[in-house]
Chains A and B, each alone.
Chain A
Amino acid sequence: MSVTDIHLQEDLAHDDHHDEHHEQGFVSKYIFTTDHKMIAKQFLITGIFWAIIGGGLSIIFRLQLGFPEMSLEWLRPMLGQWITPEGKLDAEFYLALVTMHGTIMVFFVLTAGLSGTFSNFLIPLQIGARDMASGFMNMLSYWFFFASSVVMFISLFLETGPAGGGWTVYPPLSALPQAIKGSAAGMTMWLVSMALFIASSLLGGINYITTIINLRTHGMSFSRLPLTIWAFFVTAILGLLSFPVLLSAALLLIFDRSFGTSFYLSEIFIAGEALPNVGGSPILYQHLFWFLGHPEVYIVILPALGITSEIIATNARKPIFGYKAMIGSILGIGFLSFVVWAHHMFVTGMNPFLGSVFTILTLIIAVPSAIKAFNYITTLWKGNIVFTPAMLFSIGLVSFFISGGLTGIFLGNSVLDINLHDTYFVVAHFHLVMGSASFFGMLAGVYHWFPKMFGRMMDDKLGKVHFWLSFIGIYLVFFPLHYIGIAGFPRRYYSFTSFETFSIYGDLNALVSIAAILTFAAQFIFLFNFFYSIFRGKLAPANPWKSNTMEWTTPRFPGHGNWVGAIPKIFRWPYDYSKPGAKDDFIPQTVPYSHTPESNLEHEEELTKEEDLTGVEKVN
Chain B
Amino acid sequence: MLNLIIVIAVVLIIAVIFTAYRVTTLVDVVKKKKSDSHVPPGNNFQGVLMILFLVGGIAAFFYFSMKEYDTYNLPIASEHAVITENLFWITMAITVFVFIVTQIFLFGFSYKYRHKENYQAHYYPHNNKLEMIWTIIPAIVLAWLIISGLKQWSVITGPAPDNAEVIEVMGYQYAWAFRYPGKDGELGSSDFRKIDAVNSMGIDLEDQRGHDDFMPTQLVLPKGKPVLLKIRGRDVIHSVYNPHFRMQMNAVPGMPTQFWFTPSVSTAEMREITDNPEFNYELVCNKICGKSHYGMKGLITVLEQDEYDSWYKETQENTFLKQNPGYLSEVPEELKEAAKIAAGIENIENEQKVTSAASSSK
Contacts and interface: CB of A to CB of B under 8 A. Distances in A.
B4 interface: no
Contacts of B216: none
Contacts of A385: 47, 110, 113-115
B249 interface: yes
A382 interface: yes
B253 A382 contact: no
Contact of A415 (B153, B236, B258): B153
A371 B255 contact: no
B349 interface: no
Interface string A303-346: 00000000000001111111111000000000000000000000
Interface stretch (B139-147, B203-211, B217-225): B139-147
Interface in A351-403: 352, 355-356, 359-360, 363-364, 366-367, 370-371, 373-378, 380-388, 392, 395, 398-399, 402-403
Contacts of A505: 71-72
Nearest to B238: A173
Given A170-B237, A498-B297, A268 B192 contact: yes
B279 A283 contact: no
Interface in B63-95: 64-65, 68, 71-74, 81, 84, 87-88, 91-92, 94-95
Q: How large is the interface on B (under 10, 10 to 19, 20 to 34, 35 or more residues)?
A: 35 or more
Interface stretch (A198-206, A208-216, A274-282): A274-282
A382 B237 contact: no
B88 A179 contact: no
Contact of A483 (B47, B72, B295, B297): B72
A307 B143 CA distance: 31
Contacts of B95: 406-407, 409-410
B253 A267 contact: yes
Nearest to B99: A406
B113 A416 contact: no
Contacts of A270: 173, 234-236
Contacts of B344: none
A347 B247 CA distance: 10
A410 B258 CA distance: 23
Nearest to B297: A498
Interface in B209-265: 231, 234-237, 239, 241, 243-244, 246-250, 252-258
Interface in A477-493: 479, 483-484, 486-488, 490, 492-493
Given A349-B249, A416-B87, A544-B38, A370 B134 contact: yes
25 contacts: A172-B235, A173-B289, A179-B289, A269-B235, A282-B252, A282-B253, A283-B255, A316-B121, A318-B123, A363-B143, A363-B145, A381-B109, A381-B113, A382-B124, A384-B120, A387-B43, A395-B50, A399-B107, A409-B91, A413-B149, A415-B87, A422-B241, A494-B294, A495-B294, A546-B38
Interface of A: 91-92, 95, 165-166, 170, 172-173, 176, 179-181, 265-270, 272, 274, 278, 280-283, 316-325, 347-349, 352, 355-356, 359-360, 363-364, 366-367, 370-371, 373-378, 380-388, 392, 395, 398-399, 402-403, 406-407, 409-410, 413-416, 418-419, 421-423, 459-462, 464, 468, 471-472, 475, 479, 483-484, 486-488, 490, 492-496, 498-501, 504-505, 528, 532, 544-546, 575, 577-580, 585
The 5 closest A-B pairs by CB, nearest first: A488-B243, A266-B254, A349-B257, A352-B157, A382-B122
Given A173-B289, A386-B43, 10 more contacts: A172-B237, A282-B254, A322-B125, A370-B135, A378-B124, A381-B124, A402-B103, A459-B25, A488-B284, A499-B297
